């Protein structure tokens, strides 16, 4: 309920005569043990006019379509992590995330993060560090057992297949999903979604996250606008229906595809997760 300034002023004047208990009754607020309500003298006309409803104070609202918001920095990213090339003096080069699978051992990332797309073998000496931040590896350092990619990426760098699944080896007797949990994945879901995209820009040592609407770049590509998604965010998951309580949702893409994810920091792309990418997922989870 929104209370006008005139009504608030009347409430304050009446509360001055009736006391703070009446103020609580009139405003719909109740005191708890050990708490004290401000006296009626606190409620000047200026404070009454500036009062905001609790719901508006807690929720910032949805981004406008075609806007380019700025991301939040240093976010918690339990199911998202940095990919490192262990030959590269510790500088991460991509992002990956844990995706739900029967064996609890699966990541999703961009294909160009693990394979050059020119017919050569996939990268070796790659490690995944979930929730990496400023040199810390709170949930361990995980190594790949195998990559699953579409041959059309491996032999021709087709941007429509710039998606890879990575099977991880167990660590200390556990699989990655048992340690971090996982996001779901969905295929053939259309082009417009409100997504949360979390990744590791090369310019920072902690993850950023941003929410915005996706749109269609082409029948096989989606796009997403948010500032500061520089190199290193390739492979970042696009998560829809994100639940802030459980910090989980459903992946509908990863940064990659057209221009290997985008030539500018403000617009990112992803390959559409259609039936061919779904076949890759089945191959990764059934082998």
Residue 148 and residue 194 in one domain = yes
Mean pLDDT of 28-32: 40
CA distance 22 to 82: 56
> Both 77 and 30 in a single domain?
no
Let me know if residue 90 belongs to a domain: yes
- Shared domain for 16 and 112, answered yes or no, is no
Domain span at residue 50? 5-57
Exposure on the CB side of residue 238, measured as CA atoms within 13 A: 34
Number of domains in the chain: 2
72: nearest Cα among 238, 232, 201 = 201
pLDDT for position 1 = 40
Residues 81 and 36 in one domain: no
Is 113 among the domain residues? yes
Helix (H, G, I), strand (E, B) or coil at 133: strand
pLDDT band at 24 (very low <50, low <70, confident <90, very high): very low
* Domain match, 148 and 208 both: yes
Does residue 96 belong to any structural domain of this protein?
yes
Distances (CA, A) of 184 to 76, 82, 100, 133, 149: 18, 19, 5, 24, 19
Q: Are residues 167 and 221 in the same domain?
A: yes
Domain boundary among the residues 57, 80, 96 is at: 57
Residue 85 sits in the same domain as residue 118: yes
For 137-162, what is each residue's pLDDT tens digit? 999 999 999 999 999 999 999 999 99
- Here the CATH number for the domain that contains residue 167 is 2.40.10.10
Any domain includes 214: yes
Which one is predicted more confidently, 75 or 54? 75
CB 270 within 8 A of CB 255: yes
Q: Does 27 share its domain with 129?
A: no
The answer to pTM > 0.85 is: no
Co-location of 195 and 147 in the same domain:
yes
The pLDDT mean for the chain works out to 81
Residues 49 and 144 in one domain: no
Residue 134 confidence class, pLDDT cut points 50, 70, 90: confident
* Ranges 74-78, 102-106, 132-136, 234-238: which has the least confidence: 74-78
Residues 132 and 202 in one domain: yes
Regarding whether 106 and 17 lie in a shared domain, the answer is no
């Amino acid at each position: 309920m929104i209370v006008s300034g005139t009504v608030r002023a009347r409430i304050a004047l009446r509360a001055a005569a009736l006391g703070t208990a009446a103020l609580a009754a009139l405003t719909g607020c109740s005191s708890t043990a050990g708490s004290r309500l401000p006296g009626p003298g606190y409620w000047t006309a200026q404070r009454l006019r500036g009062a905001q409803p609790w719901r508006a104070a807690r929720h910032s609202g949805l981004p406008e379509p075609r806007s380019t918001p700025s991301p939040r920095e240093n976010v918690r990213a339990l199911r998202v992590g940095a990919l490192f090339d262990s030959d590269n003096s510790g500088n991460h080069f991509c992002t990956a995330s844990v995706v739900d699978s029967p064996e609890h051992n699966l990541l999703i990332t961009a294909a160009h993060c693990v394979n050059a797309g020119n017919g050569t073998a996939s990268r070796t000496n790659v490690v995944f560090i979930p929730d990496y931040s400023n040199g810390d590896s709170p949930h361990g350092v995980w190594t790949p057992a195998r990559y699953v990619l579409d041959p059309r990426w491996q032999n021709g760098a087709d941007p429509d297949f710039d998606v890879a699944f990575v099977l991880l080896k167990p660590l200390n007797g556990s699989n990655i999903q048992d340690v971090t949990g996982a996001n779901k994945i969905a295929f053939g879901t259309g082009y417009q979604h409100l997504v949360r995209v979390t990744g590791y820009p090369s310019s920072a040592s902690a993850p950023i996250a941003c929410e915005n609407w996706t749109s269609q770049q082409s029948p096989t590509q989606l796009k997403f606008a948010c500032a500061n998604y520089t190199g290193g965010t390739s492979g970042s998951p696009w998560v829809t229906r994100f639940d802030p309580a459980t910090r989980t949702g459903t992946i509908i893409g990863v940064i990659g595809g057209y221009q290997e994810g985008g030539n500018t920091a403000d617009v990112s792309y992803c390959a559409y997760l259609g039936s061919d990418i779904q076949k890759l997922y089945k191959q990764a989870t059934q082998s």
